[in-house]
Structure 1
């Protein structure tokens, strides 16, 4: 009897452990399904019609929710992914915005300007890493018509964008006039060497000299105004001292006059007292 009871208790404990294990596994599976299907994430969709090649603004987009399970890498979930971007295809109201239909907006400011890419290579050299909005000079060394020549090909050219690979500088895009694009591409393809150097951001000697003269004149004016203020202050102090001294003299005169007037009065009072005694 005791042996059968012991076996029953052991089987009961084993069945209880198996039931708990199965329950935990089922609970984890249900939680995983809920996390995938129940958890919702926000993605960006078009709010109204968006024409192609038009810069996307915050007024053009809104958010919608989809299950986390169906979220892919091409979905747009951050506003940074829409910054300065255009859609390559037109979008209607409610259309989902994906990264594969977005493109960086053109950095060209002038309508008749174009962007030309200059990547570092055996022919193209950069003296230093550049940043967007820098100004550069383009120097070419060529051997056309049997004559070797090195010259300034373009000066003070605007850098529109910078190309990097793993944080390493690789090249630039320059903004130039449409008429100069063929010449630059020709030099890039056929010149012996194209060298890009950063333009001088300083001022010419005449500008520096004029600025120095202006600074000196300003310093002189400040000194003159300071001297005038000091002189005016000194004059005002002297006037105050003169006024105080004149006031003191008048007070002393009044005191002398009052003391002189009191002397005969005292003498008269003494004579009256002597007469009374008599």
Structure 2
């Protein structure tokens, strides 16, 4: 009886020592792994769905920890970079928020304006890389009543934000226009033969308000006009190239 108790005690002691050794080895492995990854950093993610252009509130975000090895300059680690800014894309719950997804609310000069994204394609071409706060002119080529025509569609349109600031990583920009102009711009983007985006030389002439610009005849009206309709003359200051 005593011999069996002694054996059981030795077994439990050995099991305890082996458990301690295994725990130490696991702890050491985790410690080495954390050292290799450089520790952990808190970054911000959406706590719930956040609609586009809505002011981001503190209760709409939360933090998660990721290894320092995977943290880059695009991640948001400071709450002040996020609160009371607006998201330029809709955010889903749990989605990591990066700096290029949020902009100051003041970037939209008028609450009635809209952002229209223009991505380079076979139809849309940027002659230069544009960045936030730049202004652009939009030149449209299309066929009206069987005749090719190229004209200035919009002047001095503000760039709300851009994706990429170098030619090799530039993937497009969002332009701020009035709601009426947004419909015309999207129509031209879909149905014009060619759309050229030219970086405006801001400061050399009086800027044109993009809302006022839409009082002028638009190419989208020509695109949707019946074939027998006469050409709509270009507005003052806009030369048509036959």
* TM-score, reference length from structure 2: 0.51
- Matched position secondary structure for 1:114: strand
Aligned to 2:136: 136
Tell me which residue corresponds to 1:235.
none
Is the counterpart of residue 31 in structure 1 residue 28 in structure 2? yes
Asked if the contact 1:36/1:67 (under 8 Å) is kept, the reply is no
Structure 1 unaligned blocks of 5 or more:
1-22, 91-96, 205-278
Asked whether the equivalents of residues 42 and 77 of structure 1 are also in contact (C-alpha less than 8 Å), the reply is no
Task: Provide the rounded CA distance (Å) in 2 between the counterparts of 1:63 and 1:168.
Answer: 29
Alignment deviations for residues 98-130 of structure 1 (CA, whole Å, 9 cap, x no partner): 627999346433111011111111111111111
Structure-1 separation of matches of 2:31 and 2:79 = 29
3-state DSSP of counterpart to 2:110: coil
| SS in structure 2 of the partner of residue 129 of structure 1 | coil
Partner in structure 2 of residue 78 of structure 1: 77
Give the superposition deviation at 1:34. 6.4
Cα distance in 2, alignment partners of residues 153 and 170 from structure 1: 22
| Alignment pair present for 1:200 and 2:183 | no
In 2 relative to 1, CA 61–173 (structure 1 residues): closer, same or farther, beyond 3 Å? closer
Q: CA RMSD in A?
A: 4.7
Aligned to 1:111: 111
Work out the CA distance in 2 between the residues paired with 1:161 and 1:171: 9
After TM superposition, the score normalised by the length of structure 1 is 0.45
Give the structure with the larger helix fraction: 1
- Sort the Cα spacing of 1:82 and 1:146 in 2 relative to 1 into closer, same or farther, 3 A: same
Q: CA deviation at 1:186?
A: 1.2
Structure 2 vs 1, CA of residues 62 and 148 (structure 1 numbering), >3 Å: closer, same or farther?
Answer: closer
Q: Partner of 1:169: helix, strand, or coil?
A: coil
Residue 174 of structure 1 pairs with residue 171 of structure 2: no
**Structure 2 unaligned spans of 5+:** 1-19, 206-242
Q: 1:178 offset after TM fit, Å?
A: 0.5
CA contact 2:142–2:194 (8 Å) conserved in 1 = yes
Q: Which has the larger radius of gyration?
A: 1
Identify which of structures 1 and 2 has the higher relative contact order when contacts are C-alpha pairs closer than 8 Å and 6+ apart: 2
**Which residue of structure 2 lines up, in the alignment, with residue 145 of structure 1?**
145
